[in-house]
């Protein structure tokens, strides 16, 4: 049975590892009578962490969707991974929810990953709430904890429930909505009044807002970010959970309170474009519009696509149009999701999170809409990959399976990439950390029965020269009958970085017939593609063909291809050849207390710093670093920052490799080819 849009509440539950996020979800499922027992990740009974990889590691690695009935309202929670390497699911959940709930444990306070997720919530302009856990820990200073939180996230943070005492004395919560915490209730009223000009006038006139005015205005104030409610809970003892759920049902923003979703009629609009100027109102009578925010591929069930309905109604018999392709997609039915279980759904109204099965064309971030009413929602933004490994199947029988199987995992996680390196021919997979890749390889083995072997990817070096030189080769072959003959004289010169290859014909007097000159060029390019000193492509050189000889009978196309290529190799080896290595632009994000250690460590990776910026309590260090070093940097960064540091990188340019490293690589490549 579909629910009324005003009664729906959508929450994305996030937090750093071990903050008690999934413990909170398990407790909520129990107190809402959705689960017959209070589950736990420790003993594998959690209703949320149900994948084998999650149970093995005792942590959430993918998002899980639940709905809880409470006080006549329909509360939908998306439990997201706490580990930063699985942030893709959190980013998708932010787009499906009106409110992001941040779980913070009292002993740790706001961590780097919490602040990072906060920035992602800023990006989508989501409303926010805070959950304080582990208030029963000993030796806590609650005032200092609240001061730190408000110093980090601003004075918009208003405590709604606080513990009666910290440590073992925590036996109940005090509730600002029930007459306790008078000072915080006053602050709440002031913040709500600030969210609306008319309310502010009445507040100034009366010095107070009525309970009815507060109840009416508070959901919109949360959705707009004017108020960030804070609650204290204890998931294990279930203290504070009822008060929290009461608040979510009574004051949590519904889709009707959220006015920060916009679409574009332009299919090519990028994330920052001003073309997203069509507000998407949650109107049931409007044309259907939905967002695909999560995918799961299963070898038995097939592809399961999770859709948040934003406008109009989705009926399975009508299907929808995929905006990216313009194609109409038929549906076999709609599914309501409860953790790992599903049930049939007759139709979905604005605010509903539902799933459709076996629609193979859908991708994460796709906009789906009514036929003939195509709009495009803002694309998702994901961090770039930080680690890469080359993979080969353990069994030759899996050579045909590995590509399609990896593609299915890529479809689930936009931070996981697979590519075939055109320079080395290696199959390379990229992710946010080694742990991220290990989990993906575990899924690959469990779901698709494909095991892989990994090794460090070959760095795509390039060869070039820094001096000019002449080259010559005579190709002559006689084996009875028609032979082969071609002789080429050429000279090469270096070109500027990125200027590419240039072939110049300076033949005069017909020393090489015109029909054979393109064959010389073809032979040169063939050798350039294979490399001369280390087997890497040659770039940025000019080749001048200035003389040669031919034979009336024995000369042919192949003869001049071979002669041209070998003459080029002869010249290149005498032109002071060098290896070029790819240089990456890095932005390293770390808590400020690690700046000195990180700056010192960067020099050991041949990095060159270009600037440091302050970002709240964090530092953003900009530098360049060779790709070879960058591929191993992630593990050291995590080690130095206790897992809190991250970086993004993108290709910048090629630079000459230091001579000592070039000698090592040339020697290694020659040994491999012997």
Q: Final residue of a domain: which of 455, 482, 500?
A: 455
159 with 271, same domain? no
Give domain status of residue 672, yes or no: no
Q: pLDDT tens across 159-190, in order?
A: 999 999 998 889 999 999 988 999 999 999 99
CATH code, 391: 3.30.70.870
CB 567 within 8 A of CB 560: no
CB 620 within 8 A of CB 591: no
Ramachandran category for residue 434: left, alpha or beta (phi over 0 → left; psi -120 to 50 → alpha): alpha
Residue 656 has pLDDT above 90, yes or no: yes
531 with 614, same domain? no
365 with 408, same domain? no
Count the neighbouring beta carbons within 10 Å of the beta carbon of residue 419: 12
Give domain status of residue 47, yes or no: yes
Q: Which two tokens stand for residue 666?
A: 């040339």
218 with 136, same domain? yes
Q: What is the pLDDT of residue 525?
A: 97
Which helix (H) or strand (E) covers residue 39, if one does? Answer: none
**What are residue 87's phi and psi, to 5 degrees?**
-70, -20
CATH code, 131: 3.40.50.300
Please state the rounded mean pLDDT for residues 569-578.
97
84 with 197, same domain? yes
Give domain status of residue 305, yes or no: yes
Q: What is the pLDDT of residue 674?
A: 67
Q: pLDDT tens across 71-125, in order?
A: 999 999 999 998 889 999 999 999 999 999 999 999 999 998 899 899 999 999 9
Q: Final residue of a domain: which of 433, 455, 477?
A: 455
- The confidence band for 512, taking pLDDT boundaries of 50, 70 and 90, is very high
288 with 435, same domain? no
Q: Which residue reads 């709009």 in tokens?
A: 375
188 with 224, same domain? yes
Q: How far is CA 185 from CA 177, 228, 369, 519, in A?
A: 7, 13, 43, 84
Q: Which two tokens stand for residue 325?
A: 């392709």
Give domain status of residue 670, yes or no: no
Q: What is the pLDDT of residue 253?
A: 97
106 with 191, same domain? yes
Q: Pick from 6, 69, 59: which is nearest to 32 by CA?
A: 69
Give domain status of residue 668, yes or no: no
- The confidence band for 260, taking pLDDT boundaries of 50, 70 and 90, is confident
CB 617 within 8 A of CB 592: yes
CATH code, 567: 3.30.230.10
Range of the domain at 412: 387-455
279 with 295, same domain? yes
Please state the rounded mean pLDDT for residues 237-243.
96
CB 558 within 8 A of CB 485: no
373 with 408, same domain? no
Which helix (H) or strand (E) covers residue 541, if one does? Answer: strand 541-549
CATH code, 272: 2.40.30.10
208 with 171, same domain? yes
Give domain status of residue 666, yes or no: no
Q: What is the pLDDT of residue 1?
A: 53
Please state the rounded mean pLDDT for residues 276-304.
93
363 with 403, same domain? no
Q: Final residue of a domain: which of 232, 251, 270?
A: 251
Give domain status of residue 641, yes or no: yes
Which helix (H) or strand (E) covers residue 434, if one does? Answer: helix 434-448
Q: Helix, strand, coil % (nearest 5) of the chain?
A: 30, 30, 35
User: Checking DSSP bridges between strand 341-345 and strand 387-393, what pairing results, if any?
Assistant: unpaired
Q: Which residue reads 């005015």 in tokens?
A: 213
Q: What is the pLDDT of residue 616?
A: 79
Q: What is the pLDDT of residue 201?
A: 87
Q: pLDDT tens across 584-602, in order?
A: 999 999 999 999 999 999 9
Provide DSSP, 306-327.
Answer: EEEEEES-B-TTT-EEETTTTE
Q: How many CA atoms lie within 13 A of 528 on its CB side?
A: 22
Q: What is the pLDDT of residue 644?
A: 86
- The confidence band for 2, taking pLDDT boundaries of 50, 70 and 90, is low
Tell me the pLDDT of the chain averaged across its residues. Answer: 93
Of these ranges, 49-53, 450-454, 632-636, the one predicted with the greatest mean pLDDT is: 450-454
Q: What is the pLDDT of residue 548?
A: 96
Count the neighbouring beta carbons within 10 Å of the beta carbon of residue 61: 23
Beta strands, E only, 514-638: 541-549, 577-591, 608-615, 618-626
Q: What is the pLDDT of residue 604?
A: 93
Give domain status of residue 213, yes or no: yes
Residue 477 has pLDDT above 70, yes or no: yes
Ramachandran category for residue 277: left, alpha or beta (phi over 0 → left; psi -120 to 50 → alpha): alpha
Domain count, the chain: 5
The distance in angstroms from the start CA to the end CA of the chain is: 71
Count Cβ atoms within 10 A of the Cβ of residue 154 and give its class: 0-12 exposed, 13-18 middle, 19 or more buried: exposed
Q: pLDDT tens across 121-156, in order?
A: 999 999 999 999 999 999 999 999 999 999 999 999
């Amino acid at each position: 049975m579909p629910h009324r849009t005003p009664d729906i509440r959508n929450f994305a539950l996030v937090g750093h590892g071990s903050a008690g996020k999934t413990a909170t979800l398990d407790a909520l499922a129990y107190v809402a009578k959705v689960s017959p027992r209070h589950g736990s990740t420790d003993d594998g009974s959690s209703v949320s962490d149900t994948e084998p990889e999650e149970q093995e590691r005792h942590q959430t690695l993918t998002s899980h969707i639940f709905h809880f009935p409470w006080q006549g309202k329909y509360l939908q929670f998306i439990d997201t991974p706490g580990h930063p390497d699985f942030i893709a699911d959190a980013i998708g959940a932010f787009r499906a929810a009106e409110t992001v709930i941040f779980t913070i444990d009292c002993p740790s306070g706001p961590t780097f990953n919490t602040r990072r997720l906060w920035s992602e919530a800023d990006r989508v302009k989501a409303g926010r709430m805070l959950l304080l856990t582990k208030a029963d820990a000993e030796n806590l200073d609650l005032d200092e904890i609240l001061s730190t939180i408000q110093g980090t996230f601003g004075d918009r943070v208003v405590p709604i429930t606080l513990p009666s005492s910290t440590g073992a004395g925590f036996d109940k919560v005090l509730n600002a909505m029930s007459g306790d915490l008078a000072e915080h209730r006053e602050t709440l009223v002031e913040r709500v009044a600030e969210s609306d000009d008319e309310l502010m006038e009445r507040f100034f006139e009366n010095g107070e807002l009525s309970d009815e005015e507060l109840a009416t205005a508070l959901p919109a104030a949360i959705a707009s970010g004017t108020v960030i409610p804070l609650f204290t809970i204890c998931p294990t003892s279930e203290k504070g959970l009822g008060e929290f759920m009461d608040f979510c049902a009574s004051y949590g923003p519904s889709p009707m309170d959220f006015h920060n979703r916009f679409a574009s009629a332009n299919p090519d609009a990028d994330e920052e474009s001003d073309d997203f100027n069509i507000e998407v109102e949650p109107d049931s009578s409007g044309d259907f519009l939905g967002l695909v925010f999560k995918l799961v591929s299963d070898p038995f069930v097939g592809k399961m696509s999770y859709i948040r309905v934003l406008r109009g109604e989705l009926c399975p018999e009508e299907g929808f149009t995929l905006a990216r392709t313009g194609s109409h997609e038929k549906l076999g039915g709609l599914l309501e999701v409860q953790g790992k279980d599903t049930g049939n759904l007759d139709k979905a109204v604005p605010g509903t999170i539902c799933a459709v099965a076996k629609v193979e064309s859908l991708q994460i971030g796709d906009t789906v809409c009514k036929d003939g009413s195509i709009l495009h929602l803002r694309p998702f933004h994901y961090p770039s990959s930080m680690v890469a490994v080359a993979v080969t199947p353990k069994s030759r029988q899996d050579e045909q399976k590995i590509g399609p199987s990896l593609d299915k995992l890529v479809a689930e996680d936009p931070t996981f990439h697979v590519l075939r390196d055109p320079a080395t021919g290696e199959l390379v997979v990229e992710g946010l950390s080694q742990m991220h890749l290990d989990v993906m390889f575990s899924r690959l083995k469990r779901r698709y029965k494909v095991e892989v072997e990994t090794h460090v990817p070959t760095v795509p070096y390039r060869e070039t020269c820094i001096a000019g030189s002449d080259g010559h080769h005579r190709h002559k072959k006689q084996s009875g009958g028609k032979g082969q003959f071609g002789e080429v004289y050429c000279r090469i010169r270096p070109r500027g970085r990125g200027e590419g290859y240039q072939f110049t014909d300076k033949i005069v007097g017909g020393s090489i017939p015109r029909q054979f000159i393109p064959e010389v060029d073809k032979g040169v390019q063939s050798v350039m593609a294979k490399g001369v000193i280390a087997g890497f492509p040659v770039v940025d050189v000019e080749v001048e063909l200035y003389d040669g000889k031919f034979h009336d009978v024995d000369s042919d196309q192949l003869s001049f291809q071979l002669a041209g290529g070998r003459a080029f190799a002869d010249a290149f080896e005498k032109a002071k050849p060098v290896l070029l290595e790819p240089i990456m632009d890095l932005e390293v994000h770390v808590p400020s207390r690690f700046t000195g250690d990180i700056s010192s460590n960067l020099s050991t990776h041949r990095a060159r710093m270009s600037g440091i910026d302050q970002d709240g309590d964090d530092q953003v260090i900009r530098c360049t670093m060779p790709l070879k070093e960058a591929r191993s940097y992630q593990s050291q960064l995590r080690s130095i920052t206790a897992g809190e540091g991250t970086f993004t990188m993108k290709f910048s340019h090629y630079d000459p490799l230091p001579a000592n490293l070039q000698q090592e690589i040339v020697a290694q490549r020659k040994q491999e080819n012997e």
